Amino acid sequence: MTPRQLYKTCLVFVFLSSQAMAASVWSRSWDSVDELSLVLKAVPSGRALWQRALGRDPQLSSRIRRARSSFTESTYLRSYRVNDATGVVSLRHEIFLGEKLTLAEAVLDLAHELHHYLHRQVMNPYDASLRPEDFVRGGIEGVGGELEAFEAECRIAWELTVRYDGFPDHPLCGRYRVGDSGFHRERARLDYYAVGDALPGLRGKLMDPERGLPLLHDAGVVFRSGHAGVAYPLALVREFSDTVASACRNNERKARMIAAHGGRAPATLQPALQQEQKRILDFQRQRCRK
């Protein structure tokens, strides 16, 4: 942390000791993850979220990076060893926060991305039965998806407006508030599928839109991916295409590796290597462009 960031973090700490904080404090740009975590920990839901995240990675603060927009990059990593015909799967999540956000916006974006970081389930891009509809629905409604993360963000926003008189109202959360602390999940769920005039083109990219994503509709976009700049269903279809393309490239490399080195493996491993080659070939035929 630079001296300037340390100074501003200390100022935030002083302000956090009081009930009221001037609106100008929340509207200034954010400086460090440390100051964001101080605000987040000032309310029960935020404190629990931050503690769970630190439990997973004690060095998380130093790993969160600045970017043009806020997003959590979740990567499905699959490695393969020809010498013993075994594969290893691992998941990696990286958090990025928009560098031009105000302090208030950055705190809530951090809450949103932390929920993804802790709970998002990454779908297997090497599963040839995975459809774009499944990927979109999982990204929005699945465990750790956009709907859950938005609800977590709203609940923390509401707690912060109670804790601090000057904390700004969330521009979207009020639409889904029920009573003091209720969240209208079904209304938010429906709004996530509003794609405006992109609906016809989007349906053309899906395998079975009527049954796979029946909630898609052409009302004005409410939820737009800050990273992709489009409605979430469209952003997720693009992400699905990119993910499958990456899986195709990885499979090609693996096939070349098995072809080049598989013959040296013990005879007992040959059936497993042949089975893996068949899996790769089947996937490439079904999913990869020639």
Q: What is the pTM of this model?
A: 0.88
| Spatial separation of the C-alpha atoms in residues 99 and 96, rounded to whole Å | 9
- Helix axis angle for 232-261 and 132-141, nearest 10°, is 120
pLDDT per position in the chain (290 positions), as tens?
565 554 454 555 545 555 556 678 999 999 999 999 999 999 999 999 999 999 999 999 999 999 999 999 988 888 888 777 778 778 888 999 999 999 999 999 999 999 999 999 889 999 999 999 999 999 999 999 999 999 999 999 999 999 998 999 999 999 999 998 899 999 999 999 999 999 999 999 999 999 999 999 999 999 999 999 999 999 999 999 999 999 999 999 988 988 887 777 788 888 888 898 999 999 999 989 75
SS3 state of residue 169: coil
One-character DSSP codes across 58-71: TTHHHH-EEESS-E
Helix (H), strand (E) at residue 184: none
Q: What percent of the chain has pLDDT over 70?
A: 92
SS3 state of residue 277: helix
**Tokens coding 226:** 């800050």
Residue boundaries of the structural domains of the chain: 3-12+25-287
CA 286, distance to chain mean position in Å, is 27
Q: What are phi and psi of 62, to 5 degrees?
A: -80, -10
58-67 tens-digit pLDDT:
999 999 999 9
84-101 tens-digit pLDDT:
777 877 888 899 999 999
Sort strands 86-98 and 65-67 into parallel, antiparallel or unpaired. Answer: parallel
Q: Across the chain, which distance is largest between two alpha carbons, in Å?
A: 73
Helix (H), strand (E) at residue 235: helix 232-261
pLDDT of residue 269: 83
192-224 tens-digit pLDDT:
999 999 999 999 999 999 999 999 999 999 999
